[in-house]
Structure 1
Amino acid sequence: MSMLDKFRRGAQKASIQASAFLKEGSSKIANESHNFTQGFTLPGEAEKAAKTLASFLADPDHPESALNAIPKAVLQRARGLAIFSVLKAGFVFSGKAGSGLVIARLPDGSWSAPSCIATGGVGWGLQIGADLTEFVIVLNSEDAVRAFSMGGNVTIGGNVSAAAGPIGTGGSVQASLAHPAPMFSYSKSKGLFAGLSLEGTVLIERKDANRDFYGSAVPARDILGGRVPPPEVASRMYEVIEAAEGIDEAGLPDSSYVPTADGNHLDMKDGHTVFDAEGH
């Protein structure tokens, strides 16, 4: 075989591999996008949030799941929750878009109706494919809830600060709650916890989705303030939260950690605590 024939055969093989790679990447983007856009209405967002929370919170049928879940103690003292997913996809240039909802704890301990939120952005980078990351932000203060109630944008690290939240059980979790950041952020990509930074992320109230579902331009402060009854379509989400809050942790070992950006663990038994260094 001549050198020219070898070159032609090599080029043909490379072309076939590139075409297969592009096809596989495009197919993944299409599938992820289809699943992602199903949640753009409030009923869809509520269904998506219930599934997301079920993967972040402990399952009462399997108490040992509390060892790798948002702690019961964190959930019980939460003043609100923001649940959303971000799809990042592209070829040569990348785009990302996210949607979800936020709920607030009412004075009687129940949860408010949900208000829809969104995020987005564009960046450059040589990549192909799609990555879906799920986020749960635990709002630890009334100020954090108020930020989502003002009808504008919430900038993580601007309006209100966030820190990677603890995971697991035991006394060290309680210690991390002595001086918590206004928000604890939790994220999962490919099913694994990672302490991804949300610094600079802007979350926007989706007034269109709220108006379409509630039938009028109800402001977020009324939705999160309990002046709108919790809708039936969100019942599964509330059930998941209630079940996790009531899980029996008796007999479980004292095991807690904070996930790092690369998915590793910082063991909280080594004295690591989670707090807002600038908080007062």
Structure 2
Amino acid sequence: MSEIHFAMGGAIFDGFTKDHAQLISKHGLPGFEPYRGKLMDWVDRPQALKELLDGLGIRLITASNGGPGQLCEFIDTSKREQTVSDHVDFCRDFLKVFGCAHFKINMGGRPSGGTTPEDIRAIAETVTEIGKRTGDLGVTIAPHPHIWGPIERPEEVRALLDQTDPAIVSWIPDTAQLNLGGGDPVQLIDDYYDRLAAVHWKDSKAEYRGYTGPTPTKEMHTEEILYKDLGAEGVNHPAIWTMLSDRGYDGWITLDLDPPRPNEGEGTVDDKMGINVRYLQETLKVPHL
């Protein structure tokens, strides 16, 4: 029996309220992974959020970094100590309240001229320093490659992981982010399976299956959402599910979905959650959420 469990990502919500928590519960998802920047009403009162989620049987598995009052400068060494300090403070004061085992982090914006090898070394050093300190708190640091971020292309993903200590730094791949960045999600996740803290799932248009071209632009995303519901088939999720199951993965998979765009034919948040949960249950036939 698979021990994989599924969580809802917080990007789909506008902020976070009791109604949003009830939607997660309605769809039977046992986990929640918010963004700090969308939790500003809760950041200073984590116990109240925990009580809300506990009452619905939902576990906060981690929260992404970012938002007001937290510096996210991973390349600029002059800002490293403040970045590290802000992240460790959030880990101690917020994530630990929920018993989180890992801390998912984005790594800031992409340099205007692209990411250099020196940039990747700087990011590796910053992530490692955060990871040493969060590790002392019992929380593993987990960088998250993301298009339009400094680590988006497959060679950048490999370089960052190869330059960091597996005992200190794990990672959280996103299937569509890897795909749109020109990488092979199945291969990258398989190659760095032993480094997984968790996994994010979303899809892309079928035409992106096997894509190795330049990363789509933010303007393209504005014109038409790049991030599609599971089943769009840009990403081979059945192969990823089989690989994770065969290798004995027993962690979390987060459905990291953007808010629906009604002007593009998408319905409500409730509708979107239902579409993706049904894919898990009816297409992949997962044994449980």
For the aligned pair, the TM-score class normalised by the smaller chain equals under 0.3
Q: Output the TM-score relative to the length of structure 1.
A: 0.23
Structure (1/2) with the larger strand percentage? 1
Greater relative contact order (Cα 8 A, min sep 6): structure 1 or 2? 1
Report the structure number with the largest CA radius of gyration. 1
Structure (1/2) with the larger helix percentage? 2
